[in-house]
Amino acid sequence: MDHLLSWGEFVLFELPVSAEDQSQLSPVTADIQLRLLLFTDERLAHRSEIKRVQDYLERLRQETDFSLEIINIKDQPQLVELYRLVATPSLVKVFPEPLQVFAGSNILPDLERWWGQWLDTVATLRKQLGDRQLAEVERCDRRLAASQTEHSKEVMRLSDEIFQLQREKEALLKQIEFKDQILAMLAHDLRSPLTGTSIAIETLEILSKRPETEKTVGLRGQLYQQAKNQLQIMNRMITELLQESRQLLTKLDVKPQPMALSPLCQQITEQIQERFQRKSIQLVLDIPRDLPEVYGDRELIRQVIVNLLDNAIKYSPEGGLVRLVGLHRTLQQVQVSVIDTGHGIPEEEQEKIFEGHFRLKRDATQEGYGLGLAVCRQIIQAHQGRIWVDSTPGQGSEFHFTLPVSGDRQA
C-alpha cells in the first residue's frame, strides 16, 4: 500500500471472494445472511468516527438479522493486507458477493445507499436455496477451502523463491556492471594526474643534463613537489574508490531488530550539529515520539541518515534550512525524509544519482566519487524498503526512504 487515504475520500473495491478468503473469517452460519466486518484501531483521532459507524450498525441490527464482526487491525494485521485496507474505520461486506470495502469518513452515507440492495440480494438467495441445499453448499465450501488453502500456500512459497532468485540475478548483473564502471572511471580520472607526473619527470630529466644553477635548483624542487602532489592525488583516488566499491560489492551483513527511530535521530543530530553550525544551517528535527518501532539494523540505518545529512550540508547554502522528518506512512511502513533548501536536482538526473558512478556536472568540484547514495540504496533495499528523491531545481531536494514497521515485519 503505497498511498494513504485522506479523510473525506471514498474507496470501493469489488472482488470475488475465494474459499480461502472465507476460511479466514468467522464460521459460516447455517442461514444465508448479510455478513460484515468492521475494522477499527485504537488511535484517539479515529474513535469518534468508529463509534458513529458502530452505533449506526447496532440500530440496523435491531431491524435486520445480519452478521457483524468487529476486528482490531492490531490483532489481525494479515486481514489488513488481504483486503488492501488503507484507512480506519473500514467496513467490509463479505457476503453476498461481490466483496465490497468502504473506507474513510463517507462510510455511513454509502452504507445507506447500498443497504437496501444488499438486503434484496440476501432475500433473493434465500428464496432460491432451501435449507438442505444451503447446508450441502457450505460443506462443499469448507472442503474446498481446506484444499485451496494448501494449494495457495505452495503457490506463495514458489513465488517467493522465484522472486528471490530474480533479485539475486539482478544483484549479480549490477555487480558486473559496476566493476566495468570502476575500470572506466579509473582509466578516465587517472589520466590527468598521470600526465602531470609524466611532464614533471620529463622536465627533471632535461634539467639533469644542464649545468646546475640557483635557478635550476629551485625549479627542480618545484618539479619534485609537483610530481609528489600528483602521485598523492592518484593514491587518494584509488584508495577512496576501492573502499567505496568494496562496500558496494560486499553482501551486507544486515542484523535487523526492533528499533526506535526517535532516539537514534536525536543522537545523530547532536553528533553532527557542529557541522551545520559552521555553515549557519538550521537543522530541524521532526520525529514523533509515538512513531512505531521499525525493523532494521541500527548501525546501517545510522549510516544512511548520516550520509543524507552530509549531502544536505554539502549542497545547502550558508544560512539554509535542513529538516529530518519521520512519518507513519502506512500500517506497514515508516518514512524518513531529509529535506534541504539547496540547488535542487534536475528531474532527468534524479534516478541517476543513486547509481554507483554518477555525479552532477555542477558537483564536479566536490571531493569523492559520489558513491554514498548507491550505498544508501543498497542498505534500504536490504531492509525491503525504498529510497527516492523529490526535487525542483532552485528549490531544494527531499530525500525519502521507508522501513518496515517492527510488528508487521516480525509477523
Q: What is the pLDDT of residues 188-234, one digit of tens each?
A: 667 777 887 888 888 888 888 888 777 877 888 888 888 887 887 77
Distance from C-alpha of 33 to C-alpha of 11, rounded to nearest angstrom: 24
When comparing pLDDT for 300 and 192, which is higher? Answer: 300
In a domain, 342, yes or no: yes
In a domain, 165, yes or no: no
| CATH classification at residue 322 | 3.30.565.10
In a domain, 402, yes or no: yes
How high is the pLDDT of residue 133? 64
| CATH classification at residue 50 | 3.40.30.10
Which cell numbers in the block locate residue 370? 559520489
| Helix boundaries (H) for 24-106 | 44-63, 77-82
Residues 231 and 368 in one domain: no
pLDDT tens profile 368-400: 445 678 888 888 988 989 999 999 888 899 999
Residue 25 scores a pLDDT above 70 = no
Residue 52 scores a pLDDT above 70 = yes
Distance from C-alpha of 219 to C-alpha of 221, rounded to nearest angstrom: 5
Read off the DSSP letter of residue 28: P
Residue 27 scores a pLDDT above 50 = no
Lowest pLDDT segment from 161-165, 212-216, 284-288, 333-337 = 212-216
**Regarding beta strands 333-339 and 282-286, do their DSSP bridges make them parallel or antiparallel, or are they unpaired?**
unpaired
Task: Name the pLDDT band for 185 (thresholds 50, 70, 90).
Answer: low
Residue 102 forms beta bridges with which residues?
12, 91
- What is the number of domains present in the chain? 3
Residues 263 and 325 in one domain: yes
DSSP one-letter string for 110-145: HHHHHHHHHHHHHHHHHHHS-HHHHHHHHHHHHHHH
SS3 of 227-296: the string is HHHHHHHHHHHHHHHHHHHHHHHCCCCCCCEEECHHHHHHHHHHHHHHHHHHCCCEEEEECCCCCCCEEE
In a domain, 99, yes or no: yes
Closest CA to 406 of 293, 307, 286: 293
Q: Which of 128, 145, 166 is the last residue of a domain?
A: 128
Side chain identity at 245, as an amino acid letter?
S
Residues 240 and 276 in one domain: no
How high is the pLDDT of residue 240? 62
Residues 79 and 224 in one domain: no
How high is the pLDDT of residue 18? 46
In a domain, 133, yes or no: no
List C-alpha distances in Å: 65 to 17, 114, 121, 295.
Answer: 22, 16, 14, 44
Task: Name the pLDDT band for 319 (thresholds 50, 70, 90).
Answer: very high
To the nearest whole percent, how much of the chain has pLDDT over 90?
19
Residues 346 and 283 in one domain: yes
Residues 240 and 262 in one domain: no
Flag whether the pTM goes above 0.75. Answer: no
Residue 177 forms beta bridges with which residues?
none
Mean pLDDT on 227-243: 73
- The H or E element that residue 402 is part of is strand 396-404
How high is the pLDDT of residue 26? 36
In a domain, 41, yes or no: yes
Q: Per this entry, what is the length of the chain?
A: 411
Residues 306 and 285 in one domain: yes
Residues 236 and 268 in one domain: no
Residues 25 and 56 in one domain: yes
Residues 305 and 361 in one domain: yes
In a domain, 136, yes or no: no
When comparing pLDDT for 335 and 142, which is higher? Answer: 335
Residues 216 and 105 in one domain: no
Mean pLDDT of the chain: 78
In a domain, 23, yes or no: yes
Residues 308 and 373 in one domain: yes
Domain around 100:
11-128
How high is the pLDDT of residue 148? 74
Q: Which of 220, 249, 278 is the last residue of a domain?
A: 249
Residue 296 scores a pLDDT above 90 = yes
Q: Which of 90, 113, 128 is the last residue of a domain?
A: 128
Closest CA to 311 of 351, 264, 272: 272
